[in-house]
Amino acid sequence: MKMRFCVIALLVVVSTFELRAQSSGAAPQNSEAIASISAGLGRIAKSVQTLNDRFKTFLDKFSTPGGSSTVNEKQQKIITGLQILASHEQRVANLQYSQIEFTKQLNDARNRYIQVESDLRPRNIDRSVALEGTTETEELRESRRQRLTAERTTLSQLILQLQSNLAETGETLRAAQQLANDMRQIYLPQIKAEMLSQ
């Protein structure tokens, strides 16, 4: 069971490492950056499959025909370290995903805010109520102005909240990446040495 988890852990390590390389640790600012990360998923899948095959070969060397493993204490420590590393890498991946989502939401809110600002111009309010065909145009203008003003206020608050969330996620992501990188430097050389010693 632990051996299977170790394979999963390594897959997470490689996937997240390559995803971070695609995003360069920065929040994407437009749809091209997000598309670039998405395109990298195909390359990640191929790398993960290669690593999976190699690691299965490595694990097969420690399994007896009955299915029990012959893992020594050093190898058990490596497996435990990989489990911890995998949880940190998963946290980095989750934070990167949150960063992308906050960026998309922030861009959408800013675009809507710009549109509302444009709609609030007196000329545009006049145009919007001109098609209503009523004698109560002043009431319609005021009603539309109030709705747009309320929406603008809500969007302003949303933009501030998203900017705060994005900044906080960025700080947390940098700390999580540093921790995962430190652990990677400890455990990945040990895995390589162990594989070469077989």
Residue 24's pLDDT is what? 44
Q: Which domain holds residue 72?
A: 2-196
More confident residue, 196 or 46: 196
pLDDT in tens, 106-128: 999 999 999 999 999 989 888 87
pLDDT of residue 152: 96
Q: How many structural domains are present in the chain?
A: 1
Per-residue pLDDT at 39: 56
Would you say how long the chain is, in residues? Answer: 198
What radius of gyration, in Å, describes the C-alpha atoms of the chain? 26
DSSP 93-141: HHHHHHHHHHHHHHHHHHHHHHHHHHHTSHHHHHHHHHTT--S-HHHHH
Nearest to 165 by CA among 103, 91, 76: 103
**Whether pLDDT at 85 is above 70:** yes
Average pLDDT over residues 43-51: 59
**Average pLDDT of the segment spanning 50-75:** 63
pLDDT in tens, 114-173: 999 999 998 988 887 777 666 677 888 898 899 999 999 999 999 999 999 999 999 999
Span 89-105, mean pLDDT?
Answer: 91
| pLDDT tens digits, one per residue of 5-32 | 444 444 444 444 444 444 444 444 556 6
**pTM exceeding the 0.85 threshold for the entire prediction:** no
* 85/110: higher pLDDT: 110
Please say whether the beta carbons of 159 and 113 come within 8 A: yes
As a whole-number percent, the residues of the chain with pLDDT over 70 amount to 61
> Tell me, what's the pLDDT at 192?
77
Q: What is the mean pLDDT of the chain?
A: 75
